[in-house]
Chain A
Amino acid sequence: DGGITQSPKYLFRKEGQNVTLSCEQNLNHDAMYWYRQDPGQGLRLIYYSQIVNDFQKGDIAEGYSVSREKKESFPLTVTSAQKNPTAFYLCASREGATGELFFGEGSRLTVL
């Protein structure tokens, strides 16, 4: 089945540790996105990539890093510089013809 796979679904991390969230797609989409959701807030854009080996900062990129070495993969690293990393993270890819986003099931990160 084609889709977006995020892992892990739940992740616990100690303060000061970096953690990487995985996002893989087999839809052959060029563009991929990372969003963050906090309680009572909408989805906020962290980073996006329109093509392999290129990515742009979103509105809340500080404390995060990404790479896009392969079309199907767009991992997000939450670094120790991110002041409030506990949140729900959603990855998406975008279909070129319709522009629709296809989302993964999300990863919930909790910093202890």
Chain B
Amino acid sequence: ILNVEQSPQSLHVQEGDSTNFTCSFPSSNFYALHWYRWETAKSPEALFVMTLNGDEKKKGRISATLNTKEGYSYLYIKGSQPEDSATYLCAFIGGSSNTGKLIFGQGTTLQVKP
């Protein structure tokens, strides 16, 4: 079983703080890395799909970077707001071609206090 690790497991920040978390994945046979946001009582929703080493993606105050050679991705939230409170999941796809097998990390749960 491939190992995808996320850290920290949980995070409590004040409104306005910037924060970041990490997703570690196998550095060999990389195909793609996904980030999802999962709010309570809702379905997970895609934030980013990243495929190239050095990729940086941004959506509003949220951005992500990708290092496939060392096997990690960072998710950054600038100026956290209470509505950012959610569990953030990363998912790794390995293989030389698209095997379609997405393996998730255990998630980082973010709580933003007003």
Give the B-binding residues of A (Cβ under 8 A): 4, 31, 33, 35, 40-45, 48, 50, 56, 58-59, 90, 94, 98-106
Which residues of chain B have C-beta atoms less than 8 A from A99's C-beta?
Answer: 32, 34, 49, 93, 98
Partner of B46, one of A58, A59, A101: A101
Q: Is the CB of B106 within 8 A of A98?
A: no
* Residues 48-107 (chain B) with a chain A CB within 8 angstroms: 49, 89, 91, 93, 98, 100-107
Known: A41-B106, A42-B106, A99-B34. A105 touches B101 (CB 8 A): no
B47 to chain A, nearest CB (A): 9
Give the A-binding residues of B (Cβ under 8 A): 1, 4, 6, 32, 34, 36, 42-46, 49, 89, 91, 93, 98, 100-107
A97 to B106, CA, bound (A): 26
Known: A98-B49, A100-B46, A104-B43. A45 touches B100 (CB 8 A): no
Q: 28 A-B contacts, Cβ less than 8 Å apart?
A: A4-B43, A31-B100, A33-B102, A41-B106, A42-B6, A42-B104, A42-B107, A43-B89, A43-B91, A43-B104, A45-B102, A45-B103, A45-B104, A48-B101, A50-B100, A58-B101, A59-B103, A90-B43, A99-B32, A99-B34, A99-B49, A99-B98, A100-B34, A101-B34, A103-B43, A103-B44, A103-B45, A106-B43
